[in-house]
Amino acid sequence: MAAISRQTIGKAIVATALSAAASVLISGTAVPLFGGSYDGLGMWLSLILPIVIGFPASTWQFHQSDAIRKARDELLLLHEDLDRMHERLMQAHAALTEKSRIDAMTGALTREAFLTDLNAASAAGRTGTLLLADADHFKRINDTFGHQTGDEALVAIADAIATTTGIKDFWGRIGGEEFAIFLDASGIEEASAVAETLRRRTEATDIRREKGRVAVTISIGGVTLAPHFSVRQSIADADRRLYRAKRIGRNRVVLDEISDDDASAA
């Protein structure tokens, strides 16, 4: 049992004094009204009994009230701590979830995260253009200059994508050296201009080693997207155009409604 505080004892003394005073006042008024004499033993009993009974009872009652109040306050503090811990846990979970969506090396969305967002865009009825960009002769870069240089080339491509795309666009690394880009609400002409800018910025990458300058280029294939497009079919269509860009010489942009001759001149 917790120690009784001075404040509790003080309140009990006050309550007992008031009780004794009330007992004396009531007894001194009521006894004569009924023909009795308020003196002697009766007077002392009306004073002493409230003290003997009231003080322990008041002390116990106030002590219990203080204990209940303290327990309630502690419970409230524990509840607040639990809320803060829950909030930190939610923040940590959100941070881990976001971290799991991002490719650590390039800052792009992971394949799973990109496909999730692409499916969401389709479900929401968004339109735009899907681009697939693949690094040209990437194995040659790794074999000639080493995998660290290959990683640097991928980071350079990712930086070019990040600086070329808009705030409503999203993009991800969906393969070892392949990137996918969703250009929000873009038509064929706008998408073609964005893709060509991306191709030129990648081509301008300046990575130099003792063996010489590292040639970093990409081939891009793309397809426009109607509302509620098929994700699987759209990726397959864009991939065919990417293959065509590779087949006609690499470092090319091939979008739908663009002929092979036009793509070669890009």
All residues at 6 or more sequence positions from 257 whose CB lies less than 8 Å from its CB, including other chains: 188, 224
In which element (H, E) is residue 242 found?
helix 231-247
Nearest to residue 204, comparing CAs of 157, 248, 158?
157
Query: Based on the number of CB atoms within 10 Å of its own CB, is 139 exposed (0-12), middle (13-18) or buried (19 or more)?
Result: exposed
Active site residue 177: yes
C-alpha to C-alpha distance for 261 and 150, rounded to whole angstroms: 31
The answer to whether residues 196 and 131 touch, using CB atoms and an 8 Å cutoff, is: no
The one catalytic residue in 177, 178, 189, 257 is 177
The answer to whether residues 217 and 249 touch, using CB atoms and an 8 Å cutoff, is: no
Sign of the CA dihedral running 159, 160, 164, 168: negative
Q: How many residues does the chain have?
A: 266
Structure tokens at 182: 């969703």
C-alpha to C-alpha distance for 69 and 75, rounded to whole angstroms: 10
The answer to whether residues 219 and 134 touch, using CB atoms and an 8 Å cutoff, is: yes
Secondary structure (3-state) at 179 = strand
Residue 99: other Cβ atoms inside 10 A: 9
Catalytic residue positions, numbered:
177
